[in-house]
Amino acid sequence: MRVVFVHGACVRDGAWWWEPAARLLQAHGIASVTPGLPSCGESGRPGGLDGPGLPEDVEAVRAVLQNSSEPTVVVAHSYGGIVVAEAAAGVPAVQHLLLISSYLPVPGESLSSFGDGSPAPFLDLDPVSGTFGVRPDALAATFLQDCPPQIVIDAPDHLARQSLSVVQHPVAVSAWQQLPTTYLVCADDRGTPAAAQREFARRADNVVELDAGHHPFLSRPDAVADLISSLVRPLSG
């Protein structure tokens, strides 16, 4: 059994973001891995007009999913759900998807399909460089309001400028249409409002709600680890 974590947009060092939940899972004998996303600069090439985009992210995650035959639960956060829609499709080892404050696109939809067409106020878009990122002054209040103080202090060091192309790039296939899927609604999320999440979650098989902000694996790692464990446990038999 294993868990593959896929982080969201505009961050790097995915293992740092997932570490509190991953540590609790490890204590229960559940291993996990966190692929890097090239569009966030995690392959050595920076994001940008000529930088890696969604296809490279899909390729990176899919390579990790295919490198083991162990029964696998994929846990995707925010933009990670767009990546996983393609990356997990048709991979025999993947048994369940858990989407956290995320998206379930159908073929032809992109990240932009889930917005109202206007840029979010907490993002900084730079069409000249072809990148976007979280405004550092908006990070704590929008995404980390319920996290421990040290997390809030350290998080800015793990932000990234990401290729803007990922916003418009449509997916070609939807793994969630092939696999059991659980959606975790973060009821106190200030980045993706809970009402929007509940609408996205209509496409999932199961929906769970948690009183947490956008990063519950940092603010409520015990609850997230318990949920993941409940999805992994049936695969052990």
**Average pLDDT for 128-153:** 97
User: Which residues are within 8 A (CB) of 115 and not within 5 positions of it... i.e. 6 or more apart?
Assistant: none
**Two structure tokens written together for 54:** 């969604």
Residues 6+ apart with CB under 8 A from 175: 84, 85, 86, 87, 88, 89, 90, 91, 94, 97
pLDDT digits (tens, 9 = 90+) for 62-98: 999 999 999 999 999 999 999 999 999 999 999 999 9
Mean pLDDT of the chain: 96
Tell me what pLDDT residue 213 has. 98
Whether this model's pTM surpasses 0.95:
yes
Domain boundaries, the chain: 2-236
Beginning with the edge strand found earlier in the chain, give each strand of the sheet holding 162-163 in spatial order.
Answer: 123-126, 131-134, 162-163
Let me know if domain 2-236 sits in CATH 2.40.30.110: no
Instruction: For residues 52 and 44, give the distance between their C-alpha atoms in angstroms, rounded to a whole number.
Output: 10
- Is residue 85 within 8 A of residue 105, CB to CB? The reply is yes
Name the strand (E) or helix (H) holding 140.
Answer: helix 136-143
Q: What does the alpha-carbon distance between residue 42 and residue 140 come to, in Å, rounded to a whole number? A: 23
- With contact defined as beta carbons under 8 Å apart, do 83 and 91 qualify? no
